[in-house]
Chain A
Amino acid sequence: MKKTTRLIALTLLFLLTLSLTACQGNSGNPSGAGSQEAAPPQESGSPQESGGPQENISQQPTPFPPTSLPDLIVATGTDASQLDPHLCTDSATEVLNRNIYQNLVRYNANMEIIPELATDWSVSGDGLTWTFHLKEGVLFHDGTPFNAEAVKVSFERILAPETASPRRSVLEMIEEVRAIDDTTVDILTAYPCGSFLQQLCHPAGGIISPKAVEEFGIERLLENPCGTGPLMLREWQRGERLIFDAFSGYHDGAPAFNSITFNIVPDDAARAMLIEAGQCDMALRLPVNEVKRLRGTANLNIIESPTIMTMYFALNNQKDTMKDPRVRQALNYAVDMDSIVRNVVSDFSEPADSVISPYTWGYAPVGGYPFDPEKAKDLLKEAGYEDTYEFTLWTPVGRYLMDLQVAEAIQAQMKEIGVTMHIEQWEFQALMEEVKKGEFDAVLLGWSPSTGDADQGMSPVFHSSQFPPQSNRAHYANPEVDALLDAAKREVDPVKRAKMYEDAQRIIIEEAAWLLLYYPKQALATTSAISGAELLPTEHILFAKVKKG
């Protein structure tokens, strides 16, 4: 009996030691060629023989003389879901996809539309045919050339019913793509689409190598991405890290780095500590409390920049107690947003002065509501709420920048004018479900138009055809606004279009469809040796020009 016990103990100990030593790799190597065994078996074999973008880890990446160029380490919060731009729905993955794949046109940091894979473009008089001339000499990661046919294949793929793309709506106005010659493509739309160029800037407009589309299908492209961008997937250790080589054939000048490793560090504080301890070159998506702590730290650059998001309370415009615009105006007047931005969110945002942000195409500074508690009281009195007014705010917790804290600060300010605001806290998915039923007074939400355009910034949230279960959660309805939004959607003259959105913004603000809050910022930290990261208001980061030293 004793012997058996010993034997079992020894076996257990042996197994333990084995499992622990099995994961000892070359710890000095930042690209972590270690813990390979965690990767599923089918990942290690397949990519090589297919000529795909991945390389077997045991082989040296060939593209550069790897002597002088640095290997960069980036700490990011979330693992990628899957690297197919047509299926991707989360912004953490979009950041990667935006560097693997490229679009015909893209935004720069000021949200101006600039050429990416196209050189120039024009639209026909009826606004139905867009002609793009394409850049020559562009290669996909698999060595095949980028051309008009590739544009056609990619756009047809996202629109195909069998792709079942959750982002099909971004390009659903496209009726036909015609490859005129290798470097000219005509795109025909179902209606004159005012925001067409902006739609093309969306990550879902990424162009995939036709060869990869053919070879990998829907199921396998997810982990065998192949675009024209500066980053080329080398290895993906699920939940732990993604390693990208710089693409030697990159058409816009070879990158000044050898590779970028994205380490998945879900804890906000841990990401901040990693960059503080010098264990990474960049830390992405820092929350406000870490930004505040790291501001002014020696050897670190904290880059704070604007986004296209607007935070707001969707006031339920159809609810009896909220129906009167004077009530909604009063609630807007009651809030001292300057003070909240300064004290609660540490200047990590700007008070909102419209329903879309200054970095969204079509923004007009129509002006929000100044802090005026007296006027708020007067308006409530006029609306028949002389003594008391109360309502309930539903808020998610931890979904948005300081959501609950902001709600509580507003609750205190409401109290000053005699308004009782109850707060109900929700888990986000449950909230989204419940809001659809429309039985609420007000709900704290953020809206970030992913195309960067007023059409997506306003139509889904203010058009009367978009009541829940769609996104007009405020149940706002105004025929004049509907008409403006509809007309602007089909207007390809940017000047006329901008005017329509300006008018619509003015009406919506006057009627106080929302209680306007603020435009949150985004932040990343780099060591002072790093420069060249392009941080876009769409919360995408372009790494092509990143340099160390």
Chain B
Amino acid sequence: MLRYLMKKLLLTAGVILGVATCSFFLLRALPGDPAQALAGPQATLSDIENVRKAFRLDEPISRQFATYIGNLLRGDLGYSFRTRRPVMTEILARWPNTLRLSLFSMLVAILIGVPSGIFAAGRHGTSLDALSMTGAFLGVSIPSVWLGMLLILLFSVKLKWLPFYGMDSLANYVLPGLTLGLGVAANIARLTRVSMLEVLGSDYVKTARGKGASETRTVYIHALRNAAIPIVTIIGLQLGALLGGQVVTETLFSWPGLGRMIVDSLSSRDYMMVQGGILVLAVTFALINLLTDLLYALLDPRVRIG
């Protein structure tokens, strides 16, 4: 187990170094000059040069890369061009917001997705099954910006029940959480249904039923645990997607998160911020994958780690 963990962690470190290198060079391959972007389209050449000097963008790329990697190994992500503050500070101000919203959305998604998947599987082939799967299909297809807008118009503007600006109370999480969570819930529901159907038809479930176990016990204890592995997988994957891909929702709900920070920084060519943001996402993604792997072993005794 320990060796497995060490191996995984080493691999993760490699991935992170790779991500850092790729993002460094890909950003610089983009057309656009960060000094010009910061100084503005009307800046004079000398003003642009001032910016270039201040952020050492006048040094050769190889030197900039060496500095970047060197600093990175010491845990220093550099400074934002736009705010001139340490990238780490900027990220730490936003990362918890993204994390909280993602976890909340995932909670919403699990609470809606898993039960409706089980419900549909239990009523396989009936019109209720068709109805819930149509709902899931819609959930997957609806663009989040549209859904978010509808939720705001209905619950904030019309009914005035829920706020759509701020992060101060749990109520603030409801609308963005639903906007993000419903799509994920639909994915989870579809997968839960398929997985449950497979398991419910298997011999040991029949045995359990034959031995007189109640339907609830059969479904929730015997079947669900065995159907859980694909569900856990998709939850892990979707959590990663939630963490990195909520730019639209973050913008619509004025949520100061990491995704929005990366996109805004990209359009102003704030290299260091984009690199730092991508790196943090990569680390998180890697950790979630590791956690998912470990959960497999806990859920399924056949999976052995080591």
Contact = CB atoms under 8 A, between A and B. Distances in A.
Interface in A482-505: none
A383 interface: no
A501 to B, nearest CB: 18
Interface string A266-297: 11011001101101000000000000000000
B50 interface: yes
Interface string B26-53: 0000111100111111111111101101
A434 interface: yes
A25 B51 CA distance: 40
A298 interface: no
Contact of B96 (A38, A165, A222): A38
A27 B169 contact: yes
B182 to A, nearest CB: 19
B103 A16 contact: yes
B44 A169 contact: yes
A273 B100 contact: no
Q: Name B's interface SS.
A: helix
Nearest to B177: A20
B93 A238 contact: yes
Interface stretch (A53-61, A130-138, A326-334, A425-433): A425-433
A433 B33 contact: yes
Contacts of A464: none
A450 B164 contact: no
A21 B166 CA distance: 15
B256 A238 contact: yes
B42 A164 contact: no
A429 B171 contact: no
Contacts of B82: 81-82, 90
B61 to A, nearest CB: 16
B25 interface: no
B298 A5 contact: yes
B16 interface: no
Interface in A64-115: 75, 79, 81-82, 87, 89-90
Given A263-B165, A277-B157, A37 B96 contact: yes
A169 B44 CA distance: 7
- Counting chain A residues whose Cβ lies within 8 A of the other chain, the interface size class is 35 or more
Interface in B245-280: 251-254, 256-257, 260-261, 264, 267-269
B168 A447 contact: no
Nearest to B149: A269
A274 B90 CA distance: 26
Contacts of A26: 168
Interface string A417-439: 00000000001111011100000
Nearest to A449: B42
Q: Name A's interface SS.
A: loop
Given A8-B298, A87-B84, A450-B42, A164 B50 contact: yes
A227 to B, nearest CB: 18
Nearest to A80: B83
Interface string A458-477: 00100000000111000000
Contact of A267 (B51, B92, B172, B251): B251
B47 A23 contact: no
Contacts of B107: 16
Contact of B167 (A219, A240, A273, A445): A240
A212 to B, nearest CB: 16
Interface in A156-193: 164-169, 172
B260 A25 contact: no
B217 interface: no
B54 A164 contact: yes
Nearest to B145: A267
A325 interface: no
A4 interface: yes
Interface in B128-181: 149, 152-153, 156-157, 160, 163-173
B148 to A, nearest CB: 9
Given A167-B47, A168-B46, A433 B93 contact: no
B96 A34 contact: no
Contacts of B31: 429-430, 433-434
A456 B156 CA distance: 45
A264 interface: yes
Contacts of A276: 157
A279 B53 contact: no
Contacts of A427: 32, 267
Contact of A263 (B50, B51, B173, B254): B254
B50 A238 contact: no
Contacts of B40: 89-90, 166
Contact of A429 (B103, B253, B267): B267
Contacts of A39: 93
A279 B260 contact: no
Nearest to A222: B84
B104 interface: yes
A274 to B, nearest CB: 6
A471 B42 contact: yes
Interface string A300-332: 000000000000000000000000000000000
Given A270-B165, A277-B156, 9 more contacts: A5-B298, A20-B173, A23-B100, A40-B93, A82-B84, A89-B39, A222-B83, A238-B90, A238-B94
Q: Which 9 A-B pairs have the closest CB atoms?
A: A239-B256, A429-B32, A27-B169, A430-B31, A34-B168, A238-B93, A164-B54, A27-B168, A164-B50
Interface of B: 30-33, 36-48, 50-51, 53-54, 82-85, 89-90, 92-94, 96-97, 99-100, 103-104, 107, 149, 152-153, 156-157, 160, 163-173, 251-254, 256-257, 260-261, 264, 267-269, 295, 298-299, 301
6 contacts: A40-B92, A172-B46, A239-B256, A270-B253, A430-B30, A471-B41
Interface of A: 1, 4-5, 8, 16, 19-21, 23-27, 32, 34-35, 37-40, 42, 75, 79, 81-82, 87, 89-90, 164-169, 172, 219, 222-223, 237-240, 263-267, 269-270, 273-274, 276-277, 279, 427-430, 432-434, 445, 447-450, 456, 460, 469-471
